[in-house]
């Protein structure tokens, strides 16, 4: 039994070492990105923003949209209505912020940003459950309209 355990441990060590080497060779790996960037202390063309950095920023829109889509199956049941409406509100505003910060610029997302602005004007800065419940139709309608808009712009979330 001891011999097979040692061989198994050795095999595991070899596999993990190979994995670590292959991961270290990938500059996109988060753990190696910081060491790679700290290694070059002199400014160069590689330190300026490039097209390869755009997917990282656009990923924020994709992630925020995924969060909004996660609310599509939810509903305002008596036990979870406050949570649900608050989450829809938060997801809409997370997506709004991501769109405004996207490298394509806020002008690339005119309709969703305008829909959130309209929602905010109606809510009057009041995020309380009472106010969200009062504006539930507008809140859910805004979510659904933005979902439809994004579905029509697959380059922005795929």
Question: Which structure tokens are listed for 137?
Answer: 């139709």
Report the 10 Å Cβ neighbour count for 147.
17
Q: Is 49 strand, coil or helix? A: coil
Full DSSP string of 22-77:
HHHT-TTSHHHHHHHHHH--S--GGGS--GGGHHHHHHHHHHHHHHHHTTTT----
Task: Grade residue 67 by pLDDT with cuts at 50, 70 and 90.
Answer: very high
Nearest Cα to Cα of residue 153 among 94, 102, 91, 93: 102
Task: Grade residue 124 by pLDDT with cuts at 50, 70 and 90.
Answer: very high
Higher-scoring residue by pLDDT: 113, 18: 113
Q: What is the mean pLDDT of residues 78-94?
A: 96
Higher-scoring residue by pLDDT: 84, 51: 84
Q: Which pLDDT value is given to residue 73?
A: 92
Higher-scoring residue by pLDDT: 74, 154: 74
**Residues 12-63 pLDDT 10s:** 444 444 434 333 444 443 443 433 333 333 444 444 444 444 556 678 999 9
Interatomic CA distance for residues 94 and 56, integer angstroms: 16
Q: Is 151:66 a contact under the CB 8 Å cutoff?
A: no
Q: Which pLDDT value is given to residue 90?
A: 97
Q: Which pLDDT value is given to residue 55?
A: 53
Chain mean pLDDT for the chain:
75
Is pTM beyond 0.95? Reply is no
Q: Which pLDDT value is given to residue 137?
A: 97
Which of 4-8, 106-110, 127-131, 151-155 is predicted with the least confidence, judged by mean pLDDT?
4-8
């Amino acid at each position: 039994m001891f011999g097979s355990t040692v061989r198994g441990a050795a095999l595991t060590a070899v596999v993990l070492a190979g994995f670590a080497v292959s991961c270290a060779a990938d500059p996109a790996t988060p753990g190696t990105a910081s060491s790679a960037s700290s290694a070059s202390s002199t400014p160069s063309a590689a330190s300026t923003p490039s097209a390869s950095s755009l997917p990282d920023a656009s990923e924020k829109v994709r992630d925020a949209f995924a969060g909004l889509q996660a609310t599509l199956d939810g509903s305002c049941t008596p036990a979870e209505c406050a949570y649900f409406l608050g989450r829809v509100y938060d997801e809409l505003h997370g997506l709004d912020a991501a769109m405004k910060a996207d490298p394509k610029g806020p002008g690339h997302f005119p309709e969703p940003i305008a829909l959130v602005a309209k929602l905010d004007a109606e809510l009057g800065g009041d995020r309380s459950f009472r106010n969200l419940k009062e504006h539930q139709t507008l809140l859910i309608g805004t979510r659904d309209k933005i979902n439809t808009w994004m579905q029509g712009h697959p380059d922005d979330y795929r």
